[in-house]
């Protein structure tokens, strides 16, 4: 599995994964894949940025929390995000997401309702991190 992000089969829902050289890069890649289900990210202009942080000691729960906070902020702003940053300082995670408000020309894809604990895994594999879970659609 060489791709930095992608989906995997899981019944009526979607499994998503992100890979990267750091845990935060893997989380950002998973976020990209989740929002790639929502729309074509290449068409999203990064004119709106939200910043937020959260505390979580468990890395698997941090992935679910990260993804669900992104979905919350997207719904709150009426926006779609395409670019992500995340920094980890112990149990504190500081993130940002950039995108734009929904507009004509952005095709709506799958409505992602939330990240779940199903098939949740965050692990280091060789020199890379792999972060995955199933998202409810």
Q: How far apart are CA 35 and CA 97, in angstroms?
A: 11
Q: Is a pLDDT exceeding 90 seen at residue 10? A: no
Nearest to 29 by CA among 126, 127, 122, 137: 122
Q: Is a pLDDT exceeding 70 seen at residue 92? A: yes
Q: Given this model, what pLDDT does residue 125 score? A: 87
Are the C-beta atoms of 17 and 6 separated by less than 8 Å? yes
Distance of CA 22 to the CA centre of its chain: 15
Mean pLDDT over 98-107 rounds to: 96
Q: With a threshold of 0.85, does the pTM exceed it? A: yes
Q: Given this model, what pLDDT does residue 1 score? A: 47
Tell which wins on pLDDT, 108 or 11: 108
Q: How far apart are CA 122 and CA 48, in angstroms?
A: 29
- Domain coordinates in residue numbering, the chain: 13-136
Q: Given this model, what pLDDT does residue 58 score? A: 98
CATH number of 13-136: 3.55.10.10
Nearest to 120 by CA among 61, 69, 66: 61
Tell which wins on pLDDT, 126 or 38: 38
Query: What backbone phi and psi angles, to 5 degrees, belong to 25?
Result: -65, -40
Q: Given this model, what pLDDT does residue 2 score? A: 59
Q: Coil, strand or helix: which one is 36?
A: helix
pLDDT tens, residue by residue, 26-80: 999 999 999 999 999 999 999 999 999 999 999 999 999 999 999 999 999 999 9
Q: Is a pLDDT exceeding 90 seen at residue 11? A: no
């Amino acid at each position: 599995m060489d791709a930095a992000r992608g989906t995997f089969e899981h019944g009526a829902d979607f499994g998503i994964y992100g890979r990267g050289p750091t845990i935060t890069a893997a989380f950002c890649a998973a976020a990209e894949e989740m929002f790639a289900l929502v729309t074509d990210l290449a068409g999203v202009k990064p004119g709106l940025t939200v910043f937020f942080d959260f505390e979580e000691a468990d890395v698997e729960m941090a992935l679910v929390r990260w993804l669900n906070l992104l979905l919350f902020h997207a719904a709150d702003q009426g926006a779609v995000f395409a670019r992500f940053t995340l920094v980890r300082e112990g149990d504190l995670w500081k993130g940002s997401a950039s995108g734009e408000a929904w507009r004509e020309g952005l095709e709506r894809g799958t409505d992602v309702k939330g990240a779940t604990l199903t098939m949740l895994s965050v692990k280091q594999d060789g020199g890379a991190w792999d972060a995955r879970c199933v998202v409810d659609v």
